[in-house]
Amino acid sequence: MYMANIKVALIPNDFSMDLAAVCQLCEAEHVRYVELAFMWGKSILDLSDGERARVHELLDQHGLEVAAIQTQIMKTMAPNSVLRKGESRSMARDHAYNVAQIDKAIELAADFNTPYIVTYSYFRWGARVTEQNWQQIFADYASFLPKLQVAGKAVVVECEPDTYVGTVPEYLKLLQHFEAPEIRANLDLANLIGAQKWFPETDFKQLFPYVGYFHVKDRRKKRVLGATGAVFGEGFVPWREVLPWFAAADFDGYLSVEPHVHGGNRFEQGRQCVRNLQKLLGELNIEFE
C-alpha cells in the first residue's frame, strides 16, 4: 500500500454550472475537495459578495474544502502579440489586466482557505516564441512571488500545448528559474501528452520535485486526426503507469478531476470519471482521501 498523501478533488464547472448539484455529487461520491473556477457562468474573480457567500454556504453544507482556485492568470497573449488588445479587460487579450488579477486571486485563496492558485503561461498565438517573451514571463512571476510569500500561497502552473509551458523542458525552464515552493506545477498529463506525445520515467524524475497538483482527465483518438475528451480510464493517457511513480515517491497533493466531456450527459459522465479514478487508485493500492 502506497502511503502518499493524495487528495481527490473535482472542478464543478466541468460537470455542470449548477454548483449545488455538483456539491451533492461530491457528497454522494465521497469527494471532499473542489477546485473553484467558474460558477453560474462567471469566473470566480467576478462573483459578487452575495454569490461568494452562496459558495461558502454550499461548501459548508456539504462538508467540502477548496483544493485550489482557477482564475486564468497568465493565460493571455504575450505583450507583443498582434492579437493582444490592451485596456480591454479581457483575461485572454489584455496582458496588463490579466497579471494585475493576482491580488484578487490571493484574496480569494485566503477567503476560501486554499493553498493553491492555478495559473498558466502566455499563449503562443500572434507572436513568435522568443527569449524576450520568456524573460517577460519570468518578470511576471517574479512580481507575484513576494505577494505569494507574504500570503502563504502558491501558484501551480498548468501545461497546455498552445502555451509557452507545454512540455517538461519548458516546465523546467520556468520552475528551475525560481526554485521557489510558491511556484509549482499543475501537471495536466493529458495536455502534456498532447504537447510532447509521451511522459517517460526520466521526465517524472526531473519534474517530481516541482509537482503539487494534477488536473485529471483522459483523451481518446478520433477517427480522423487528433484526439478528443474521454471518460477517465477509457482513453490513452497513461495514468495507470504514472500514478504509482508519484505515489511511490510520497506525492503530497491533489488529483483534481476535470472530465472535459461534453453533451447532455456530461454530469453523469463526470461522475463516472470520479468513480473510475477512485477505482484505479484502489486497484493500484494508492491511498487517497
- pLDDT at position 261 is 85
- pLDDT classification of 229: cutoffs 50, 70, 90: confident
What mean pLDDT is predicted for residues 117-125?
Answer: 97
Question: Residue 135: which domain range?
Answer: 2-288
- pLDDT at position 228 is 84
pLDDT at 4 exceeding the cut of 90: no
- What is the overall mean pLDDT for the chain? 95
Q: How far apart are CA 136 and CA 121, in angstroms?
A: 10
What mean pLDDT is predicted for residues 213-220?
Answer: 95
Burial letters for 191-212: b for 16+ Cβ neighbours within 10 Å, e otherwise?
Answer: bbbbbbeebeeebbeebeebbb
pLDDT at 264 exceeding the cut of 90: no
pLDDT at 24 exceeding the cut of 70: yes
What mean pLDDT is predicted for residues 98-107?
Answer: 98
- pLDDT classification of 149: cutoffs 50, 70, 90: very high
- pLDDT classification of 224: cutoffs 50, 70, 90: low
Amino acid at 227: A
The rounded percent of the chain whose pLDDT value lies above 90 is 92
What mean pLDDT is predicted for residues 50-64?
Answer: 98
- pLDDT at position 83 is 96
- Residue 15's closest CA among 263, 222, 221? 263
Contacts of residue 13, defined as CB under 8 A and 6 or more positions apart, other chains included, come to: 37, 38, 39
Burial letters for 10-23: b for 16+ Cβ neighbours within 10 Å, e otherwise?
Answer: bbbbbbeeebeebb
pLDDT at 123 exceeding the cut of 80: yes
Full-model pTM = 0.96
Instruction: State the helix-helix crossing angle for 239-248 and 266-283, rounded to 10 degrees.
Output: 50
Residue 10 DSSP SS3: strand
Q: Looking at residue 81, which CATH number applies to its domain?
A: 3.20.20.150
- pLDDT at position 221 is 82
Work out how many domains the chain is built from and give that number: 1
What mean pLDDT is predicted for residues 225-242?
Answer: 90
Burial of 120 (0-12, 13-18, 19+ CB in 10 A): buried
Structure-block grid coordinates of residue 232: 477517465
Of 4 and 67, the structure prediction assigns the larger pLDDT to: 67
pLDDT at 154 exceeding the cut of 70: yes
- pLDDT classification of 79: cutoffs 50, 70, 90: very high
